[in-house]
């Protein structure tokens, strides 16, 4: 057995790391061989070589496939991190050689789209049109692991307290309340007064169960002596929310800015009902101690600018009322 330090620093090659990650994803020797365009015996031989280096069993083999051991899970995390940094460095060098201006990979939650993220991208493109922005939409349960693996540079969304962790750096940008929206032709859109009882009789599209806003919504129904509606679509995708409101006559539970944005465009109607909810702010999440690339830093500056501009605009409107 080599020392673990020596194995990690010198003995492991990119092909070893790629095989470990592929095997973790596919959980099958034959499928991994097909994915990597090599033979199954070659996969078995390379895996055995890696395990011999560590003198550890990294995967349990069975007729059902392969499953990483606790040792394997640790080394797979290391492999993902190294491969992610490799890809990022390669892209930065290729961008420099081609004259492009870099790339940033951003994870976005519904609350940030379209009123924060889209304007920030537009501002970034004004000064750096060649910068590539990859946007991955989802919720924290899906996006945080990708941030930790180095596949995303930045997350934008609600700073849910349940996901606070020492390895994460957060920056609050602004507070954002919620509202209820329907299609402009929905029966509830015609009512001058909407009650909580009315809301129990219709379909809904709501955030996933873990979201703080979802918890607050359930509490609101209970506070009015009502059971929450059961006809639900649960999603963290804005497109799914939009389609449910537009095509399925569902009540949407969205950020106030998002509701106003699509009401102004003639798609939604915000229902006249007050939602008194104390929710986490919207902000930025990065990895603690990790330097973001130049493109990501520029984009974060654009996000801060949009957030500050919107808050100033809202303050001016309130002062005029």
Half-sphere exposure of 13 (CA within 13 A, CB side): 4
Give percent of the chain with pLDDT exceeding 70.
Answer: 93
Half-sphere exposure of 107 (CA within 13 A, CB side): 25
Query: Which helix (H) or strand (E) element contains residue 236?
Result: none
Same domain, 182 and 170: no
Same domain, 182 and 254: yes
Same domain, 197 and 169: no
Same domain, 250 and 234: yes
Domain boundary among 270, 289, 306: 270
Average pLDDT, the chain: 88
Does residue 88 sit within a domain? no
Same domain, 168 and 198: no
Same domain, 115 and 184: no
Predicted confidence band of residue 310 (pLDDT cuts 50, 70, 90): low
The residue segments making up the domain with residue 115 are 100-175+281-320
Q: For the domain that residue 149 is a member of, what is the CATH number?
A: 3.40.190.10
Strand 251-255 vs strand 204-206: parallel, antiparallel, or unpaired? parallel
Q: Is-contact 283 181, C-beta < 8 A?
A: no
- What pLDDT score does 87 carry? 79
- What pLDDT score does 98 carry? 54
Does residue 93 sit within a domain? no
Does residue 87 sit within a domain? no
Predicted confidence band of residue 12 (pLDDT cuts 50, 70, 90): confident
Tens of pLDDT along 201-224? 899 999 988 888 999 999 999 999
User: CA triplet 88, 85, 39: central angle to 5 degrees?
Assistant: 100
Does residue 257 sit within a domain? yes
Q: Which of 44-53, 89-98, 130-139 has the lowest mean pLDDT?
A: 89-98
* Nearest Cα to Cα of residue 42 among 64, 65, 23, 70: 23
Predicted confidence band of residue 189 (pLDDT cuts 50, 70, 90): very high
DSSP percent split of the chain into helix, strand, coil, nearest 5? 50, 20, 30
Same domain, 209 and 250: yes
Predicted confidence band of residue 9 (pLDDT cuts 50, 70, 90): confident
Residue 185 is classified by DSSP as: T
| pLDDT exceeds 60 at position 314 | no
Same domain, 59 and 35: yes
Tens of pLDDT along 237-275? 989 999 999 999 999 999 999 999 999 999 999 999 989
- What pLDDT score does 312 carry? 57
Does residue 94 sit within a domain? no
| pLDDT exceeds 50 at position 319 | no
Same domain, 65 and 22: yes
Strand order in the sheet with 251-255: 232-234, 204-206, 251-255, 178-183, 268-270
Domain boundary among 49, 81, 113: 81
Does residue 202 sit within a domain? yes
Q: For the domain that residue 71 is a member of, what is the CATH number?
A: 1.10.10.10
Same domain, 171 and 294: yes
Tens of pLDDT along 44-91? 999 999 999 888 999 998 888 899 999 999 999 889 888 887 877 777
Tens of pLDDT along 13-43? 889 999 999 999 999 999 999 999 999 999 9
Q: Give the number of domains in the chain.
A: 3
* Residue 85 or residue 99, greater confidence: 85
Domain boundary among 81, 109, 131: 81
* Residue 300 or residue 130, greater confidence: 300
Give percent of the chain with pLDDT exceeding 90.
Answer: 61
Same domain, 62 and 197: no
- What pLDDT score does 316 carry? 44
Q: Is-contact 23 9, C-beta < 8 A?
A: no
- What pLDDT score does 100 carry? 54
Same domain, 128 and 73: no
Does residue 275 sit within a domain? no
Kindly report whether the global pTM for this prediction surpasses the value 0.85.
Answer: no
Does residue 95 sit within a domain? no
């Amino acid at each position: 057995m080599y020392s673990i330090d020596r194995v990690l620093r010198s003995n492991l090659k990119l092909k070893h790391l790629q095989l470990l990650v592929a095997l973790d994803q596919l959980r099958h020797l034959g499928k991994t061989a097909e994915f990597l365009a090599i033979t199954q015996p070659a996969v078995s031989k390379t895996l055995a070589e890696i395990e011999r280096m560590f003198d550890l069993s990294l995967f349990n083999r069975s007729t059902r496939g392969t499953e990483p051991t606790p040792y394997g899970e640790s080394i797979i995390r290391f492999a993902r991190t190294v491969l992610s940094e490799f890809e990022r460095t390669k892209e930065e060098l290729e961008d420099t050689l081609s004259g492009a201006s870099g790339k940033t990979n951003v994870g976005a939650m519904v609350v940030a789209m379209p009123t924060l993220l889209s304007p920030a991208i537009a501002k970034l493109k004004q000064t750096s049109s060649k910068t590539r922005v990859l946007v991955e939409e989802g919720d924290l349960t899906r996006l945080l692991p990708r941030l930790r693996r180095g596949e995303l540079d930045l997350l934008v969304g609600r700073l849910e307290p349940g996901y606070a962790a020492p390895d994460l750096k957060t920056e609050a940008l602004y507070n954002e309340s919620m509202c209820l929206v329907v299609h402009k032709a929905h029966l509830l859109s015609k009512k001058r007064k909407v009650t909580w009882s009315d809301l129990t009789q219709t379909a809904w599209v709501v955030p996933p169960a873990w979201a703080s806003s979802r918890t607050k919504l359930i509490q609101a129904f209970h506070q009015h002596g009502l059971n929450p509606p059961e006809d639900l679509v649960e999603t963290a995708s804005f497109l799914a929310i939009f389609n449910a409101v537009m095509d399925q006559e569902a009540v949407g539970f969205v950020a106030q800015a998002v509701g106003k944005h699509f009401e102004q465009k003639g798609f939604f109607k915000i229902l006249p009902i007050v939602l008194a909810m104390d929710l986490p702010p919207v902000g930025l999440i990065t990895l603690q101690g990790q330097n973001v690339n130049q493109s990501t830093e520029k984009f974060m500056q654009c996000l801060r600018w949009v957030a500050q501009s919107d808050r100033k605009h809202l303050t001016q409107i309130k002062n005029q009322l």
